[in-house]
Amino acid sequence: MKKSLIALAALAATTAFAQSSVQIVGTIDPSFANTQTTYGNGSSVTNQSIRNNTQGTSQVTFKGTEDLGGGLKANFLIENDFDAGKTGNQGTGAANLGSAGGEMYLNLTGGFGKIALGAPNTPTLYSQAQNPFGTKIGSGFGQINSGKVRNNNTVMYSTPTMAGFTGHLAMSNKTKDAANLTTVGEISDIGLFYANGPLDVKFTSYKVAATATVVEKTDNNLTAAYDLGVAKLGVAYFTQKQTALVDAKGTAVFATVPLSANLSLLANYGQNDSALSTNLDSKITAVGLKYNFSKMTSVYARFAEQSYDNVAATAATTKKVQTTAFGMQTNF
């Protein structure tokens, strides 16, 4: 009897293990960077540093899935971002390792699609990051577009993919203070993605509701990439509106060109035209090389120039930033 119970317990444990899994994965991405910053008054400063996150995001990630049966699966993801150029005990003493700052969610997937709770990446992030430089240096992320990543207090639903189309809807709840005043407006992000063969198109509309101190704002993003085989070409278009006014318009063209089985050339040019009274237009020009030693490890070189028009002629305003970086990224 006792042997039978032990055998049943072992069988149950084996079955549960077969239906669920937990993984620890991550990325380490340090680089050596030379950065020259030119200010509005013409002065310039050059710094060398061990830069973090030049190509990827340094992080340790825990993720897992459990098969619930009937086509349902529960999945979780916890990203812990860190600075690959610091030990965590220098400077002010603030820890640089193990502080969760990345994507976090628990989701349920099935024939109905996927619903996630927590802080998942926004649909707009996937649209804005289609550039070959992703969200990192050279992409113009946050300069040409609005640089949306993720929000707390989010519920996100994704439809099943049908004929290449996938829909996304993310809603982030508003926050009120003790006086019942809204301090953080409700955020909605609607996305429609299409991927079929060499064509990849993403459209998103990201809207922040008004509060007592913040006007309503809507960001629209459209990116499209086409893989020709000899090169992957893409374009991006971005607008930002406050109420009925268009206050920013960004465009970009980019390319990835395979030079060999392991070596690729990256290029990007973008500009943001401001319609505000300050008229602070900006531009990004970037080129890069990436060499893959394996599926996990690569080395890279990048040059990026960011420039800003109509800045004040003072040492407190940045007119141009030129960065040259050489780095190595390993995933595990």
Q: pLDDT tens across 68-88, in order?
A: 999 999 999 999 999 998 875
When pLDDT is averaged across residues 267-290 and rounded to a whole number, the result is 91
3-state secondary structure the chain: CHHHHHHHHHHHHHHHHHHEEEEEEEEECEEEEEEEEEECCCCEEEEEEEEECCCCCCEEEEEEEEEEECCEEEEEEEEEECCCCCCCCCCCCCCCCCCCCCCEEEEEEECCEEEEEEECECHHHHHHCCCCCCCCCCCCCCCCCCCCCECCCEEEEECCCECCEEEEEEEECCEECCCCCEEECCEEEEEEEEEECCEEEEEEEEEECCCCCCCCEEEEEEEEEEECCCCEEEEEEEEEEECCEEEEEEEEEEEEEECCCCEEEEEEEEEEEECCCCCCCEEEEEEEEEEECCCCEEEEEEEEEEEECCCCCCCCCEEEEEEEEEEEEEEC
Which is more confidently placed, 320 or 280? 320
pTM: 0.86
- The mean pLDDT of 256-277, rounded to a whole number, is 93
Residue 301 backbone dihedrals phi, psi, to 5 degrees? -135, 140
Statement: 22-331 belongs to CATH 2.40.160.10? yes
Interval 169-182: pLDDT, tens: 999 998 877 777 77
The token duo for 176 is: 């009120």
- What is the reported pLDDT for 244? 64
Residue 217 has pLDDT above 50, yes or no: yes
Listed by start position, the domains of the chain span 22-331
d(CA 68, CA 63): 16
Give 303's pLDDT tier (boundaries 50, 70, 90). Answer: very high
Q: Beta strand 297-308 with 318-331: parallel, antiparallel or unpaired?
A: antiparallel
pLDDT exceeding 90 applies to what percent of the chain?
Answer: 77
216 burial level (CB within 10 Å; 0-12, 13-18, 19+): middle
In this prediction, residue 88 carries a pLDDT of 58
Mean pLDDT of 186-197: 97
Per mean pLDDT, which range of 95-99, 245-249, 326-330 is the poorest?
95-99
pLDDT at 7 over 70: no
Q: How confident is the model at residue 100 (pLDDT cuts 50, 70, 90)?
A: low
Residues 305-318 pLDDT 10s: 999 998 989 999 99
CA distances 97 to 22, 79, 123, 226, Å, are 21, 12, 28, 38
Structure confidence at residue 277 (pLDDT): 65
